[in-house]
Amino acid sequence: MSREALIRAGVALLSEKGYSATGLDEVLRIAGVPKGSFYHYFASKDVFGAELVDAYATYFARKLDRWLLDESTAPLQRIRNFVADARVGMARYEFRRGCVVGNLGQEMSALPELFRDRLHGVLLDWQTRTERCLRDAQSAGEIAADADCTALAAFFWIGWEGAVLRAKLERSPEPLDLFANLFLANLAR
């Protein structure tokens, strides 16, 4: 239970503060775990951080699948539903929390190199899931048959991560709405 509490506390803090500004003492305090126990579960803060990325990636992949694989909904509506859910999630924390992967990506120059491939892999996974949904949209005639779904999925995540950063900065959903609305409007046939 203590290991899971450390991971939950760590992910929450990374979503709000990033890696460099998150201290182990704060994680331990929030998780209610004694300091000595931390090193029983994790060899170092860097190993802990890498596990937090993996935990967040697993959580977020499930969230994406919940929305993007919902075959009872038209494919582009699935993307709208994901955006609406993300908007509600950010508002719940008054836009103080953002994306762990985006936060860490901004800190890459100060992070151990082992994070680079891990973060890039997570983004590529999200792109693949989004590309699948866009291909469904293509098959349904919602977007052009010759649309480059691979490039569109990459574009979505490049823009979405910027919108999340801006929403966190402004403490407002407007950047999320602006990006999503323009992205989807430009897909329409």
Predicted confidence (pLDDT) per residue in 131-182, tens digit: 999 999 999 999 999 999 999 999 999 999 999 999 999 999 999 999 999 9
Handedness of CA 152, 155, 157, 159 (dihedral sign): negative
Most confident region among 14-18, 30-34, 108-112, 139-143 by mean pLDDT = 139-143
Residue 112: what pLDDT? 86
Residues 6+ apart with CB under 8 A from 116: 108
Residue 189: what pLDDT? 59
Residues 6+ apart with CB under 8 A from 145: 138
Helix axes 75-92, 45-68, angle to 10 degrees: 130
What tokens appear for 115 in the block? 């994070």
The neighbour count for residue 89, using CB atoms within 10 Å, is 12
Residue 160: what pLDDT? 98
Residue 73: what pLDDT? 98
Q: What is the mean pLDDT of residues 121-133?
A: 98
Q: Give the N- to C-terminal CA distance of the chain in Å, as an integer.
A: 50
Residue 58: what pLDDT? 97
Query: CA 39 → CA 1, 20, 24, 81, distances in Å?
Result: 15, 19, 11, 40
Residue 129 has pLDDT above 80, yes or no: yes
Residue 1 has pLDDT above 80, yes or no: no
Residue 53: what pLDDT? 95
Each residue of 58-104: pLDDT tens digit? 999 999 999 999 999 999 999 999 999 999 999 999 999 999 999 99
